[in-house]
Structure 1
Amino acid sequence: MIRHIVMWKLKETAEGATRAENARKLKEKLEGCRDIVPGILQLDVGIAAPGLESTYDVVLVSDFADKAALDAYQVHPTHEALKAFVGKVRETRECVDYEV
């Protein structure tokens, strides 16, 4: 199994929306990817809680049956559309993939 974790720090404003609004949009778009390819075992999205120390705004923690499932997810049209949105609203991105 492959665990895929991605964190984004969002711009203060982008695409006519605030950081908080874009965080909610990103969460919704990511959750829409939950069943786009076979082999997605779990997909959770979190938004940093106000008042708690955080260096990133949105986190994705997802598990894939294998690398082939992760690879299929990466190039799926729904995910490609999501990446276009993220490119406009993100300040930075960090990612780690590892075997569980």
Structure 2
Amino acid sequence: MIEHIVMWRLKNAADAPRFKALLDSCRDLVPGMLRFDVGIRREGLEANVDVVLVSRFADAAALDAYQHHPHHKAVGAELGAMRQDRHVLDFDVQDTTR
């Protein structure tokens, strides 16, 4: 399994709810997407970014299908105009259910 974590700092932090809504529209786009959680900065909790995506894919092929999906590409273009910084980490996860 592949964990796909993306964090964004926005040009305008007030855009975080709209940014989240756009990301949420990418949920369940492809087979093999096992987890898709979007969080936004909350007052009173420590944060260096405004929005985070934590997602999990069955394998690298499922992640690749997600990244190349036309809807994901369109959303990514819209999000790109709203972001100041983007950080990504993809890593292998051991399946603890086996």
TM-score, shorter chain, exceeding 0.5: yes
Cα offsets for 1:1-59 (capped at 9, x unmatched): 000000000002xxxxxx22x21111111111111110100100000101322110000
Task: Map 1:1-100 to 2 at 5 A.
Answer: 1-12=1-12, 19-20=13-14, 22-100=15-93
How far has the Cα of 1:60 moved from its partner?
0.1
Q: How far apart are the structure 2 equivalents of 1:42 and 1:53?
A: 23
Cα offsets for 1:54-75 (capped at 9, x unmatched): 1100000000000000000001
Give the root-mean-square deviation of aligned CA atoms: 0.9
Partner amino acid for 1:30? L
Q: How far apart are the structure 1 equivalents of 2:43 and 2:70?
A: 33
SS in 2 for 1:42: strand
Q: How far apart are the structure 2 equivalents of 1:54 and 1:37?
A: 30
Q: How far apart are the structure 1 equivalents of 2:7 and 2:92?
A: 18
Aligned sequence identity (%): 57
SS in 2 for 1:51: coil
Which sections of structure 2, spanning at least 5 residues, go unmatched? Answer: 94-98
Cα offsets for 1:58-96 (capped at 9, x unmatched): 000000000000000001011001111111010000000
